[in-house]
Structure 1
Amino acid sequence: MQGRPHLSPFCPNPPGRPAPVAGGLATWAVATVLALPGAAPAADMSAATRKEIDHMLARVVSSGCEFGRGSTWHSGPDARVHLERKLGYLSARGMVASAEDFITMAATRSSMTGEAYTIRCKPNPAQPSAAWMEAELKALRASAPPAAAASAARR
């Protein structure tokens, strides 16, 4: 076996072989799942919650703002597609029971890098996407009839 590198589970990076990518298979699996078309919402997401999330996603598109992921700015429609993929992944696992869950788990930061998302509505400076989404949700609830607003606040 002269000339062949020794491959062993105890020596994952033999000389001459590049270091493995951080996260390895787990990172690839998450990226693959997030790239799939959105799954149907889980049964535990109420229609009212879905309506609030759909409203926030529609505002991302209609606002004319840009969505920052990493060092790249994306259009509203591209941002919506990305956030819907994340929502599909999370809701298929029953992880989104409220609009606040959506903001926290899907619309705040990258699940791959942990880097915060931002939203830039010119001429204003960029702001954390969580703050922008929370403001949109607050405005939606403030414009809702009192009974619907009270119901949404209890979730």
Structure 2
Amino acid sequence: MSCFAIRPPLRSLAAAALLLACAVAAAAPSAQAERETEQLIQALGQSGCQFERNGGWHDAVQAQGHLRKKLAYLRKRGLADSAELFIERAGSQSSLSGKPYRVRCGDRPAVSSASWLQAKLVQLRGARATPPSP
């Protein structure tokens, strides 16, 4: 048996192992990413704001439930391993219609949900980076 007969199967095996390792790594978001994403969903749920989805306005608790379902779908596929990817892939627009989501808080004009979530993420990260006062 020659060396050439062994190499292709080993290359295929190595390639498969590399793909599997990449898939496992992509499927497991960091603890920080999980925490930030959860904080964003909680912030929306507790905001008292309204959430527009496919032309209809929903309360914040309904929006929270909807985004949790979308997050679970993405996480199963390794597609939401950061808060930014969650915003982009779950929190910005309908995956069915492609229509953007919007958030309306009180008397203020509605803004894109992507903008609202990104601003909230900056706020959350800023609060975490601020040292406690003595």
User: Hey, which bits of structure 1, 4+ residues long, moved more than 4 A?
Assistant: none
Displacement of 1:146 = 6.4
Partner of 2:89: 105
Aligned residue in 2 for 1:76: 60
Whole-Å separation in 1 of the counterparts to 2:42 and 2:78: 23
Q: How many residues align?
A: 106
Higher helix residue share: 2
Whole-angstrom CA distance in 1 between matches of 2:36 and 2:46: 15
Percent identity of the aligned residues? Answer: 40
**What are structure 2's unaligned runs of at least 5 residues?**
1-25
By how many angstroms is 1:50 displaced?
0.8
Correspondence for 2:101 among 92, 95, 117: 117
* CA positional deviation for 1:72: 0.8
The corresponding residue for 1:140 is 124
CA RMSD of aligned residues (A): 1.5
Amino acid at match of 2:124: L
The reply on whether 1:129 has 2:90 as its aligned counterpart is no
Aligned pairs for 1:2-151 (under 5 A) are 43-145=27-129
In 2, the alpha carbon distance for the partners of 1:91 and 1:146 equals 30
TM-score (norm 1): 0.65
Flag the 1:44–1:146 CA change in 2: closer, same or farther, 3 A: farther
How far residue 46 of structure 1 moved from its aligned partner, in angstroms, is: 1.1
**CA separation in 1, counterparts of 2:74 and 2:119?**
22
- 1:52 CA drift (Å): 0.4
CA deviation vs aligned residue, 1:20-55 (integer Å, no higher than 9, x gap): xxxxxxxxxxxxxxxxxxxxxx75211111110111
C-alpha separation between the residues in 2 aligned to 1:61 and 1:109?
A: 17
Instruction: Specify the SS of the correspondent of 2:95.
Output: coil
- Distance, in Å, in 1 between the alignment partners of 2:52 and 2:40 is 16
The offset of 1:129, in angstroms, is: 0.2
